[in-house]
């Protein structure tokens, strides 16, 4: 028994006790050859680690993961970040290769690659087409779309977390056929008129989405079912 306990203790000692946290800065430098970039733009972490994207100055940025491992069942995207110090954090649990960009500066090459554990092999990733989703939201082209009088799209889901101070809520939403969205967990910014104090993690909710520029969606109504 003592030998077994000693062996177990040695195994635990050799195992990392805590997941790590990393920071990627969103940088705008008008004096640099490449004026908009992530620093670093390539990073390798381990499953369970958290990456925080932080705006390095008062400049509009966001983070959108446009290619992810096939096992990932949610869209990973930040709210629009406008102020220095604005942050977006995500804990990565699925191994593989992730590619991301800042939508506002996509055409200027502001993009990056994140490898979790080991790089994905050919055919093991999938594209997340934010452009297509935005078009569906803006023109209501889905056959079964049910927009409100103001053109918003109705949805239902379950609250994962709430940050009332930042006007944001993370929701695992049901399929939104009007947008051709499957079940996904997404972080949404809410309009200042939305009272987030009335909801908590685990609540079933109904909400409406309003397009707010390219690939940016604001919840302007939310209530418990």
The pLDDT of residue 211:
79
Mean pLDDT confidence for 124-131: 82
161, 168 contact by CB (below 8 A): no
Ordered structural domains, the chain, with CATH: 18-128 (2.60.40.420), 131-224 (2.40.50.320)
Query: pLDDT per residue over 146-197, tens digit each?
Result: 444 456 788 999 998 999 988 889 888 888 877 766 667 778 889 999 999 9
| Cα gap 208→129, rounded to integer Å | 21
The pLDDT of residue 210:
86
| Cα gap 79→63, rounded to integer Å | 8
Strand partners, 155: 207
pTM higher than the cut 0.75: no
| Cα gap 3→179, rounded to integer Å | 59
Mean pLDDT confidence for 49-72: 94
């Amino acid at each position: 028994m003592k030998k077994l306990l000693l062996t177990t203790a040695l195994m635990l000692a050799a195992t990392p006790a805590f997941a790590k946290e990393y920071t990627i800065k969103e940088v705008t430098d008008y004096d640099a050859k490449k004026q908009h970039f992530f620093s670093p733009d390539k990073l390798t972490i381990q499953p369970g680690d958290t990456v925080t994207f932080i705006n390095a100055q008062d400049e509009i940025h966001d983070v959108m993961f446009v290619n992810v491992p096939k096992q990932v069942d949610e869209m990973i995207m930040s709210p629009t970040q406008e102020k220095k110090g604005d942050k977006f954090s995500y804990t990565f649990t699925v191994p593989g290769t992730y590619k991301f960009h800042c939508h506002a500066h996509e055409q200027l090459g502001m993009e990056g690659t994140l490898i979790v554990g080991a790089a994905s092999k050919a055919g093991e990733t999938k594209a997340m087409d934010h452009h297509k989703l935005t078009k569906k939201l803006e023109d209501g082209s889905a056959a079964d779309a049910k927009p409100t009088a103001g053109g918003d799209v109705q949805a239902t889901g379950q609250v994962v977390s709430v940050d009332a101070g930042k006007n944001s809520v993370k929701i695992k939403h049901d399929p939104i056929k009007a947008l051709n969205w499957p079940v996904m967990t997404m972080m949404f910014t809410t309009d200042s008129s939305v009272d987030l104090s009335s909801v908590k993690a685990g609540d079933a909710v109904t909400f409406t989405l309003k397009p707010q520029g390219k690939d940016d969606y604001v919840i302007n109504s939310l209530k418990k079912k």
